[in-house]
Structure 1
Amino acid sequence: MKLESSEVEICTAVVGAPSPTGQILLAAKVQGSGDEADRDGEELFVPPLNFAMVDSGVFRSGFPDTANFTFLQTLGLRSIIYLCPEPYPEPNIEFLKCNGIRLFQFGIDGCKEPFVNIPEDTIREALKVVLDKRNHPLLIHCKRGKHRTGCLVGCLRKLQRWCLSSIFDEYQRFAAAKARISDQRFMELFDISSFKHLPMTSPHSRRCQS
């Protein structure tokens, strides 16, 4: 549903309640301490937690706050995929309005093991948004950019024909000590056969060697 021009357009779908090798990171522009930056007239660009480039026009991170807004402006985002069920904070909504960014919300509860129920239908709907290049540049984020974001990116990697060992390696680099077997199991079993479109090409594609 398209809202008035003075409001941010939000697409909501609720179903149920470290830098990997080979990825490109966009570094923060930080020169000296905060005082030095102020004296030199330099503007600080602070990426959100766990920020990284996934593919051309697709980024991932933890929840961005106001300190990250200037950095996000440098990406020229058209869309944000938000994977939490909680309402988007008002300062973030204002940032989207001012920058013409569309918000797609797919509410996935941040449950902990062993009570984990990743809604496959929700991941499928989010993947459709990621695969539509009209939504690029696009940022995927949840709370900390580990589990929910990791699962969505992992399923994207299956569409890009990454082998499971590389998918799991990428997931674990972001999740670190918080890696979940259930997340990896979900990615392993995720069925990509229903996707008719060609997967996005990736300069970081990792196929298993025969």
Structure 2
Amino acid sequence: MPYIPPLSFAPVVSTDVSLYRSGYPMPLNYAFIRDQLHLKTVIYVGDKDVSEEYQTFLNEQNIAYHHLHVDSCRDSDFSRHVDAVLRLVLDKRNYPILIHSNKGKHRVGVVVGIIRKLLQGWSTTGIYQEYGNFSGGSKGEVDLEFITMFETELIVKRDLIPDYVKTRKKS
């Protein structure tokens, strides 16, 4: 049986830990997820309820599932949800991680853009280009503005931070 990754699947980080992005996994993707990714955590940034079939798969694979219910980055709670994602991503005990939205374009694009900006030190140009590649060229000006303007004051345990994260020292 061939392995079929979810829609818009791509690695975000594959160093000491693995972080992936995608659209909503379907049953034909489960073998790929199970046999190739060996996930510990799935973070769903979206507006659908989890299907019974998907929940069963996650339970059988002992994958921790976090659903952050948002329609778009225009939601008043979106900043709080991004902080929740960052808390999970900044704890190496949660890896490997898959972050997905419905189609793997806009919501997950914003989350990955913020990870690129805050944790990896990417330039705005690189973030916008990657966002455009996954969104099919539709720019999503509101999404890009959200990424650009987003800031956080998260406090996390330094010894749990994955090695790929560029940490800033307090002055």
Give the TM-score taking structure 1 as reference length.
0.70
Is the Cα contact below 8 Å between 1:147 and 1:179 reproduced in 2?
no
User: What RMSD, in angstroms, separates the aligned Cα atoms of the two structures?
Assistant: 1.9
- Counterpart of 1:65, as a letter, is M
CA displacement 1:99-139 (0-9 Å, x = unmatched): 1101011111148xxxx336211111111111211110010
CA distance in 2, matches of 1:189, 1:131: 20
Q: Larger % of helix: which?
A: 2
Q: Partner of 1:91 in structure 2? A: 53
CA displacement 1:38-74 (0-9 Å, x = unmatched): xxxxx21000000000002100000110000000012
Secondary structure of 2:67 counterpart: strand
Gaps of 5+ in 1: 1-42, 206-210
- Counterpart of 2:48, as a letter, is E
Is the Cα contact below 8 Å between 2:46 and 2:101 reproduced in 1?
yes
Q: Partner of 1:50 in structure 2? A: 8
Decide which of 107, 118, 123 is 1:163's aligned counterpart.
Answer: 123
- Counterpart of 1:162, as a letter, is W
Alignment size in residue pairs: 157
Give the TM-score taking structure 2 as reference length.
0.85
* Bigger shift: residues 58-67 or 128-137: 128-137
CA distance in 2, matches of 1:102, 1:165: 33
Is the Cα contact below 8 Å between 1:172 and 1:179 reproduced in 2?
yes
Is the Cα contact below 8 Å between 1:59 and 1:139 reproduced in 2?
yes
Residue 70 (str. 1) matches residue 28 (str. 2): no
Is the Cα contact below 8 Å between 2:21 and 2:99 reproduced in 1?
yes
Secondary structure of 1:156 counterpart: helix
Query: Displacement of 1:163 after TM fit?
Result: 1.1
Which 4+ residue blocks in structure 1 deviate beyond 2 angstroms? 195-203
Query: Displacement of 1:200 after TM fit?
Result: 4.6
- Counterpart of 1:64, as a letter, is P
CA distance in 1, matches of 2:138, 2:42: 24
Query: Displacement of 1:158 after TM fit?
Result: 1.3
Where do residues 87-126 of structure 1 align in structure 2 (5 Å cutoff)? 87-110=49-72, 116-117=74-75, 119-126=78-85
Which protein is bigger by CA-based radius of gyration? Answer: 1
Secondary structure of 1:123 counterpart: helix
Where do residues 117-136 of structure 1 align in structure 2 (5 Å cutoff)? 117=75, 119-136=78-95
